[in-house]
Amino acid sequence: MAILRSGAILVAQPELLEAHFVRSIIYLLEHHAGGSMGVIINRPLPMGLGTVWEDCPKSLKDSCLVAAGGPVDMHKGLLLHRFHGIPEAFPVAQDIAIGGQSEALRERLAKVQSAQTRPLRLFLGHAGWAPGQLAEEVHLGTWIVRSGHAHLLMDSAPDEDLWEQLLRIGESPPPSLN
């Protein structure tokens, strides 16, 4: 059984009917005694990065994924990326971090030729849980916890097929979707 921790993937059980979380896949950004926070990765929005970030490099304006990350602070964006050494960035797990100094991010992004490598994703809003709430929901069977699938955050264009695959698999990685 996978452990609740930063970098884990939560897969909503089919019985979860709460509107924001039906058939959702959540990437867990934080999990500690103070509560938990994550982003829904399979709710793409019909817009490119350039729609919400004017200074975005041209090569990424329409091709980088923007998603509805959850019902909390939907007007605020969370920029997740694979860049190492960005000042003020908060490491999540493996090679993924949140935010960082704007100028340093802009400089790195200017060097990216295309979104083929998916160096970042922008999430508008997030999901949050009070202390102990997520652990209780997992205990009750609301969520399935998966580990070893963090690559899905950047490497896939998540959709409902991905939710079904993650729901059905054990702890082995799902087949490549690209």
Residue spans of the chain under pLDDT 70? 1, 59, 63, 112-118, 150, 155-160, 170-178
- What is the DSSP secondary structure assignment for residue 85, as one 8-state letter? S
Render 90-128 in DSSP notation, one character per residue: EEEETTEEE---HHHHHHHHHT---GGG--EEEEEEEEE
Give the tokens for residue 73. 């602070």
pLDDT in tens, 143-172: 999 887 767 777 666 665 888 888 887 644
| CA distance linking residue 80 with residue 77, whole number of Å | 10
- CATH code given to domain 9-163: 3.40.1740.10
Distances, alpha carbon 101 to alpha carbons 74, 87, 104, 113, in Å: 21, 6, 6, 21
Q: Where are the domains of the chain?
A: 9-163
pTM, to two decimals? 0.84
